[in-house]
Amino acid sequence: MTRRGVLIGCGFFARNHMLAWRDLPDVTIVAVCDLDPAKAAAFAEEFGAGAYGNAAQMLKEVRPDFADIATTVSSHRSLVELAAGHGCAVICQKPFAENLIDAQAMVDACTRAGVDLLIHENFRWQAPIRRIAELINRGAIGQPQFLRLNFRHAFDIYANQPYLAQVEDLALSDVGLHLFDVARRLFGEVTRISCETQRLNPNVTGQDAFLAQMRHASGAVASVECSFFSHYAPDRFVQTLALAEGDEGSIELEDGYRLRLHRQGKCLEEVVEPPIPSWGARPWNLVQDSVIAFQQHVLDVLAGRTKAQPSGADNLETLKLTFAAVQSARNGGRQVKLTAS
């Protein structure tokens, strides 16, 4: 059965969505929409879809199986509620919402409509992160005790996404939530967090670096480190480096996708770089492959083969963690306790 989807928002990152959908079997994007008619027309021509300037009209006329929302955060609530109202499954890009009230409203709207809601949290779908999760799940390091996630680079992210230069809690709201989602995926729920932020790049308005310290419900602790103005040669963009220690072993994920499993006095090394899609290129292949993997997962969810990873309800917990980190940073790094919903 071929699923019929529509794309809302034909901007920078949506191109990855479209290229990935085109690579996947049993799915077709029948129409695209953008407030900017030129952007919708360009995608429509390139990908052989219908073009719209209004999401409501598109959903009414096309009646798709799912809507893939790739707009920026301020439009997410109205578009998710609109799509749910048309009875189609919904995929929403991160950040899911600007606040918890909107996020809860979107979860409720999809529950009421009886449709799936998935959040495009592609970091947890990156090949190296999936490999670490698999090793931890099969007990390769024993009981997890310490996690370090490190995403520090100086790649010019503002060239493709100029709006980021004006975002106040930039590092936390743009990549922090991805890293918190990965931490939850690997080590489970977090009970408290403290966070310090920095503004490093003089040409941006917001806080473009942070250091967060967390306690997981299991008792494990984690350090999450992020900067968009750190200098390494070669630059590590777009890799997340990681260290996961347990009571029986450790996993190191280093630059160049080198993954080492230390266990019983031995070290097993493998290279976990994902393939480069036919339309892709380094260093973006990590991201491009993760978009393909996430979107294949969406199709599996729609076919009833598996549960959403993450669902909107799950992503509420990641948002809570992100907002708690913002709160902590604004209060001089004071610890914030999390309560599960």
Read off the amino acid at residue 170.
L
**Rounded to whole angstroms, how far apart are CA atoms 174 and 95?**
7
Q: Are 46 and 32 in contact (CB under 8 A)?
A: no
Instruction: Say whether residue 120 binds ligand NAD (CB under 6 A).
Output: yes
Nearest residue (beta carbon) to ligand NAD:
11
Instruction: Say whether residue 67 binds ligand NAD (CB under 6 A).
Output: no
Beta carbon of residue 156, minimum distance to ligand NAD (angstroms, whole number): 14
Q: Would you say 12 or 232 has its CB closer to ligand NAD? A: 12
Instruction: Say whether residue 5 binds ligand NAD (CB under 6 A).
Output: no
Instruction: Say whether residue 69 binds ligand NAD (CB under 6 A).
Output: no
Q: Would you say 72 or 296 has its CB closer to ligand NAD? A: 72
Q: How far is CA 243 from CA 36, 116, 141, 258, in A?
A: 43, 33, 11, 12
Build a one-symbol-per-residue string for 131-170: x at contacts with ligand NAD by CB under 6 A, - elsewhere.
------------------------------x---------
Instruction: Say whether residue 71 binds ligand NAD (CB under 6 A).
Output: yes
Q: Whose CA is closest to 106, among 341, 326, 323, 315?
A: 315
For the chain, strand residue ranges (E) read: 3-8, 27-33, 50-52, 66-69, 89-93, 117-120, 144-152, 190-198, 209-216, 221-227, 241-246, 249-254, 258-263, 266-271, 336-337
Q: Is 128 helix (H, G, I), strand (E, B) or coil?
A: helix
Span of 41-49, 70-78, 148-156, 239-247 interacting with ligand NAD by CB under 6 A? 70-78
Say how many CA atoms lie within 13 Å of 317 toward its Cβ: 20
> Which residues are 100's β-sheet partners?
none
- Which residues ranging from 195 to 234 are in contact with ligand NAD (CB under 6 A)? none
Instruction: Say whether residue 124 binds ligand NAD (CB under 6 A).
Output: no
Beta carbon of residue 262, minimum distance to ligand NAD (angstroms, whole number): 30
The 10 Å Cβ neighbour count of residue 232 is: 11
Instruction: Say whether residue 277 binds ligand NAD (CB under 6 A).
Output: no
Q: Which of 32, 59, 70, 83 binds ligand NAD (CB under 6 A)?
A: 70
Q: Would you say 175 or 261 has its CB closer to ligand NAD? A: 175
Tell me what percent of the chain is helix, strand and coil, each rounded to the nearest 5: 40, 25, 35
Q: How far is CA 81 from CA 76, 170, 302, 320, in A?
A: 8, 26, 19, 21
Task: Count interface residues toward ligand NAD (CB under 6 A).
Answer: 25
Q: Which of 72, 198, 223, 311 binds ligand NAD (CB under 6 A)?
A: 72
Instruction: Say whether residue 8 binds ligand NAD (CB under 6 A).
Output: yes
25 Cβ neighbours under 8 A, 6+ residues apart: none
- Which residues ranging from 18 to 37 are in contact with ligand NAD (CB under 6 A)? 33-36
Q: Would you say 35 or 293 has its CB closer to ligand NAD? A: 35
Binding site for ligand NAD (CB under 6 A): 8-14, 33-36, 39, 55, 70-73, 75, 79, 93-94, 120, 122, 161, 287
